[in-house]
Chains A and B, each alone.
Chain A
Amino acid sequence: MHVLGLSIGRDGAAAALVREGRPLALNMEERWTRRRADPSLPLRAARACLARVGAGRERPDYIVLAEKPVATFQRLLMNQMAAFPRGVGAFGRSMSRWLGDALWIKGRLADEFDLPGDRVLFADGHRALAAGAWATSPWSEAAILVLDRGAENDGASIFRGRDARIERLASLEGWQSLPTSRMVLADHLGLLMEGSDDDGRVGDLAAYGACHDGALDAALCRDSADGVSLAREAFDAWFDPEAGATARLQRLLGPAPRLPVGAVPSGPVADGAAAVEAFSARALLRLAQETRRRTECSRMCLAGPLATDATLLGHLAESGLFESIHVAPVADGGLAALGAALHGGQASEQGALLPAGGADWSVSLLGETLRGDVTQGPLALAGDEAVVEQLAARLVAGGCMAWLHGHAEPGPQARGRRCLLADPRSAAQRDALQADPVSFPAWRTAPLAFAEQAVPALFDVPPSARPAIANGPVAVRARPGVAQALGAGVHVDGRARVWSVGAGDHPLLHRVLTRVGERTGYAAALQTDLRRPGEPLMASVDDAVRLFEQSRWDGMIIEDRAWMREGRPPATA
């Protein structure tokens, strides 16, 4: 039985195909439309998933959407009524869209895939995320905390996963969504990434500022008997998207400051970011405390947009609230689609159960391959070992190298397969990494990809962060001397966003880093996504070659073909 899970919105729409509880394919819509975080119905991604199954299969047995559309509609209606009369603008816009299109999605999906209506199912968004996080975890029992921007009316949910079941224990209403409030605050500070809801700049910028008096935290986040309560009046944006930061927020953060172009930020923007970070960290810890109390589990899976925030993950790990924290190797959209498909398989008549903890599969291998022909590249490298040698030698020589190898990561962020690598010892290399065409602000620090065996000696990694750090960056403190040696990869607050690259999950990159370590003593590379600002990761050979032509990088390796900058011949091992 094939179950197709679909997720709309979040950090990009996605589709996932599952057969008898086993994931077969996972695709993001943005890879096909080339619109970053494309939130629209992922029909192209769904067809790509079905195509992977093989010829003749044009429709799944079930479709599961990771959202309850009528619940979302009800929530919008209630919010806009509660905001009367200020909600009139938002009401006109959203109801026009919902009544005209979004409410009838069941029929549309049934038509698109030629299925009877009763084969289209709907999973609650938080439950889908929880199922995805649980299925990718290595455990047979754990707490699951979902913090989402909430399509339906949930801002946070606590689940307990046990064997093949997840059970919801408690929820917070949608307006208390920590990711939403953080996004509104980041928007007020002008820190949202172009074309997305990504507020990842807050953590980087916070290190340059100071949180003076905790006024923001005190105003937005109140202690209560059951752990957390966010001040409702400060979150009008939840009820009326036009409201933005309210007058109260403006008093606390000051009028919307402008981020100076190019310069290392200081003053109101950096102080504002520090205040938002302090508030977010404290609220997250309270939510985690409540999760621990309700589930009595010592291990936790975290899902939602904040799960990929390296700085907040670092705070959570340092708190020691949990023995272990797991974050799925798939970002929100893909995780919800995967979870919906797994959950749908469980609920449908022939139901497969969720894969029990420790299932032997890796979603990191499910992305699609590069489109286009790589056999015409100028320099053929004889096998993987030559690729490893070439990359390692170039990086040690101070080169900045693009690398596209194997299937793409099923999410918006590169994890070693569509990436740009540079030597972390040199500030010049960091600047090269951050320059056009990939460009991001000089005050941001790129994540450090480290061979797993090298991490403990160089960074103070809390034991609870070990599962999470293997799936993506976590901000951890550098040990004495490391900041001086790896200046380009350690932030001004002495932390680095470290990703521990395992030999099992990423064998080739692990070998490259190990070779670098043999030469320099640091088995590490600065790593950033191979994309232009506002665009998805590279998806085709043509695009990658063109991006290389516009860059000043020393070279690029696509599978086993190398492109080297003129005048910079291939390095010899």
Chain B
Amino acid sequence: MIPFDFEYYRPQSITNAADIFQTLEESGKNPVFYAGGTEIISMARMSSITTGAVIDVKEIPELKAMEFNGDDLVIGAGVTLTQIHEANLFPLLAQACARVADHTIQNKITLGGNLCGTIIYREAVLPLLLTNAYLVIASVKNARRVPINEVFSKRMQLNRGELLVQVHIPRNYVSCPYVHVKRTKEDKIHYPLLTVCALLTDNQVRAAFSGLVNFPFRSVEMEEALNDINLTLEQRVEQALNKLPAAVPDNLEGSAGYRTFILKHLLTSIVNELETGNVTNS
């Protein structure tokens, strides 16, 4: 049971959502955009967050889109992880979505919620980082389409009142050879000890990571090392490990040494699989 009251709004358009956010903000209600709501409800139950109003945006048509449009695969921020997995229009993203939380919760978590939530793993962002996806973001002032690396740095960098509307993924990436690997400490349903998404494009390996450090990331420096054909595979992986963007944490989920050990072996097998065309996802 949520131990405080808030107001509930279900706008039918982006304009309507942006307007009501501004009105509620000005009246001191501290509103939040609400899609799947799993994180908001569980945090509200513990009084970890408070709000005077939730704005349920997941039934706005643009947020429910999922289709190829021109050169892009367009996925609305209100599309659930299950819908993305079942449609399988972008297999790497579908696979990443199918390993967030458990299946029933995937019926509720939305793509936008996974990207904008406070839980640090945000595994659905990894395929988007690899494909140079664009995000459509709306506010009461305007709507803008921006490259993901301009608004995702460790987490989504949205201003108050900005609403993530859609993700646009360049079509040419959706059928690239890929590998998705998620390793957990114990059960299959758990936060990641380490999740790696990788794909091969123009004979170059791209890789993005979650669980390794305290934020999901893609590192161009690590990719340059992994793709340095003047070195042996073992040397390439060692070079990549030296270019991690932050210290690997020691915590209950796993020691830094253990995580690095797993990463080293995963990178070796992933690069080998992609370069030899012998891909086995797990």
Indicate whether A and B interact. no
Give residues in A with beta carbon < 8 Å to B.
Answer: none
